[in-house]
Amino acid sequence: MSDPHTSVSVVVPVYCAREHLKAFHGRLHAVLEQMAMRYEIIYVDDHSTDESFALLEEISADCPQVIAVRLGSNVGQQHATFCGLTYARYSYVITIDDDGQYPPEEIPRLVELIRSEEFDCVYAIPKARSTSVYRNLGTRLTDCTMYLLTRKPGDIQVSSFRIMRRHLVDLITETSAQSIYLSVEILSRTHRVGNCSIESISDGQRTRYTFAMLLKVFLKLVIGNRPWCRRVQSTPRFIVERELIHTVSGGIR
């Protein structure tokens, strides 16, 4: 797909990803270059305890489309991704994990689908889901909770690999909620949401989510998104420890 009038921001939350981040970036950068459109990649290092940000410094030196941000404390994937959304400038915004579980090679399909249909957001959903009992249980619990909180259409599934239109991102980043769960923010604002079926989750890195981590995410979703909590909490704030921003002007890049 080649369209110089389309522009894409890709937000990638990063945590202790030194071992596989370079390979992931290589795949992501290659896909975006082949699409021949204006793009930027926003990496948000969630206060990693390894040398992830040092590697992002190296990557940014070679790739002027990279915006690298290191947070001053560990805030979790949802908040780190939200922080990345506040930096995104372009007409479509994609979020994807850094561990290679979702293949960046599927990005052109997401862009094509959201441009051809009247969707505000499209989630990529693998045909072959995890065989883990606790992951599947967590997915079902989250799905039920999402319905109760947002009246999510029953046939819509959510994931961390998604594409959104610019106006939806602008609405999300104006949220007054302190506890962020992005799919709640999305589905509270629009039901013009679709799914894009992708072949499978990449065979690259294994997910780092344990049962305890999934349980923690679920409890934060339930407790942090009660109506009375959302009314009284203030706008989320992020302490940015360091940022590397390269602006590419003009043309396709």
Model confidence pLDDT, tens digit, residues 5-37: 689 999 999 999 999 999 999 999 999 999 989
**Position 70 in a domain:** yes
| Dist. CA 67–CA 117, nearest whole Å | 29
Q: Answer yes or no: are the C-beta atoms of 235 and 175 closer than 8 Å.
A: yes
pLDDT tens string 144-175: 665 555 666 667 888 999 999 999 999 999 98
Q: Count the domains in the chain.
A: 1
Rounded to whole angstroms, the Cα distance separating 155 from 118 reads 17
Domain contains 67: yes
pLDDT one-digit tens code per residue, 197-219: 997 665 444 555 555 555 555 55
- Find the domain containing 84 and state its range: 7-244
Residue 228 pLDDT exceeds 60: no
Q: What pLDDT shows up at residue 204?
A: 47
Report yes or no: 86 and 134 within 8 Å, Cβ to Cβ. no
pLDDT of residue 229: 39
**pLDDT for position 221:** 53
Specify the CATH number for the domain of residue 42: 3.90.550.10
Looking at the domain assignment, is residue 123 inside a domain?
yes
Q: Which residues contact 67 (CB under 8 A, 6 or more apart)?
A: 40, 41, 42, 43, 60, 87, 243, 244, 245, 246
Mean pLDDT within 224-235: 42
Q: Are strands 7-14 and 38-45 parallel, antiparallel or unpaired?
A: parallel
Question: Is 237 among the domain residues?
Answer: yes
pLDDT of residue 248: 55
**Residue 43, burial from CB neighbour count under 10 angstroms (0-12, 13-18, 19+):** buried
Separation in Å, CA 174 to CA 184, 192, 220, 235: 14, 19, 20, 8
pLDDT tens digits along 84-124: 999 999 999 999 999 888 999 999 999 999 999 999 999 99
CB atoms < 10 A from the CB of 49, how many?
Answer: 9
Tell me what pLDDT residue 6 has. Answer: 86
Q: Which pLDDT band, with edges at 50, 70 and 90, does 230 fall under?
A: very low
Q: Is residue 238 part of a domain?
A: yes
Q: Are 87 and 13 in contact (CB under 8 A)?
A: no
Sheet holding 162-165, edge to edge: 193-200, 121-128, 162-165, 92-95, 7-14, 38-45, 66-71, 240-245
Give, in order, the Cα–Cα distances in Å from 121 to each of 57, 111, 124, 196. 31, 10, 10, 10
- Give the pair of three-digit tokens for residue 48: 């990693």
In a domain, 2, yes or no: no
Contact 89, 55 (CB under 8 A): no
Taking each helix axis as running N to C, give the angle between helix 211-224 and helix 133-150, from 0 to 180 degrees, rounded to the nearest 10. Answer: 10
Task: Flag whether 253 is in a domain.
Answer: no
User: In this predicted model, which residue has the larger pLDDT, 235 or 194?
Assistant: 194
Is it the case that residue 189 has pLDDT exceeding 80?
yes
Q: Is residue 57 part of a domain?
A: yes
pLDDT at 251: 39
Q: Lowest-confidence range among 183-187, 210-214, 225-229?
A: 225-229
Is the pLDDT at 71 greater than 70, yes or no?
yes
Residue 182 pLDDT > 60: yes
Q: According to DSSP H, which parts of 35-181 are helical?
A: 52-62, 77-87, 107-116, 133-150, 166-172
Compute and round to an integer the Cα radius of gyration of the chain.
Answer: 17
